[in-house]
Amino acid sequence: KEKQSSLDAFF
């Protein structure tokens, strides 16, 4: 139900 997100949205 929960997953590791990435930083891609912040670059």
**Assigned token pair, 2:** 């929960």
Fill in the per-residue mask, 1 to 11: x = in contact with other proteins (CB under 8 A), - = not in contact. xxxxxxxx-xx
To other proteins, the closest distance from the beta carbon of 9 in angstroms equals 9
Phi-psi region of 5 (alpha: psi -120 to 50; beta: other; left: phi over 0): beta
To other proteins, the closest distance from the beta carbon of 1 in angstroms equals 6
To other proteins, the closest distance from the beta carbon of 3 in angstroms equals 5
Q: Residue 11: is it exposed, middle or buried by C-beta count within 10 angstroms (0-12/13-18/19+)? A: exposed
- Chain positions contacting other proteins, by CB under 8 A: 1-8, 10-11
